[in-house]
Amino acid sequence: MKLKSLFALAAATIAAAAFVTSCDDADNDFHQFYWQGTHNNNALIVYADQTEDSIKVTSTDTWTYTCESDWMQMSVNGKPAPDTLVVRKGYIDRSRATFTFTPNTTGQERTATFTLTNPTKHIGSFSPVFTQKPYLNISLPVYDSTTGTFTLKNINSEGLYSATTKDGVTHTAKPVITFTVYADGAELTGFDDCDWLTHTLSPADIRKNVLCTDTLKVSRNTTGHQRSVTLTLKSNGVSTPITVVQN
């Protein structure tokens, strides 16, 4: 029994390809076919203002690609789907598949599927799924999937973020908001409507594809009751509210 094929189906949740082998008496051909994300989002998740992403496809055989979506387009080496990428026998081809998206202004999460097919026996095809979120990429505060909101809580009356460990030790720090936008001209608004909250991030500091950190300065709360304000992160026609709550 001789080695027939060695191929990989790269699962959408892992970075490394998973290889499977099979045997056939026909020949000793070596076959390889897998994809990998080029960013650290191998789960193929994109955000509402994101308009592009890509993967790398490795193959020892000619393969085809298709994409049917009204908000996502796919191309390989500049050729839009559907098409075929020809790989010469005895070669390993590594090509970049590029995806473009329209901003998600629907307010709902949406998905789109593309299909990569290797007609070689024992390999076949697989269909990864892109998921585009209805909100922007905000790291802090953490998204609450139950309420569908971003809320920065646990700010004490002195204006500091307060958290208590399992050992009962309380730590305080200046509250921050962190986010990444994928378009020029993004802005974080709402501070002008609040007389007890200011921030350090200037419009020039908000750059696309860069993790931005905005340190908040919260005044002492002497009102005797909880207060809150809603800020708005805007990028590429999408707006995501962020609520800041002080005890």
Q: Which residue has the tokens 């139950």?
A: 146
Query: What are the pLDDT digits (tens) for 12-41?
Result: 333 333 233 333 445 567 889 999 987 655
Is residue 140 within 8 Å of 244, Cβ to Cβ?
Answer: no
Q: Distance between the two ends of the chain, CA-based, in angstroms?
A: 72
Average pLDDT of the residues in 64-72: 97
Alpha-carbon distance of 184 to 204, in angstroms, equals 10
Alpha-carbon distance of 198 to 171, in angstroms, equals 22
Query: What are the pLDDT digits (tens) for 115-134?
Result: 999 988 778 898 999 999 99
Query: What are the pLDDT digits (tens) for 183-232?
Result: 999 999 999 989 999 999 999 999 999 999 999 999 999 999 999 999 99
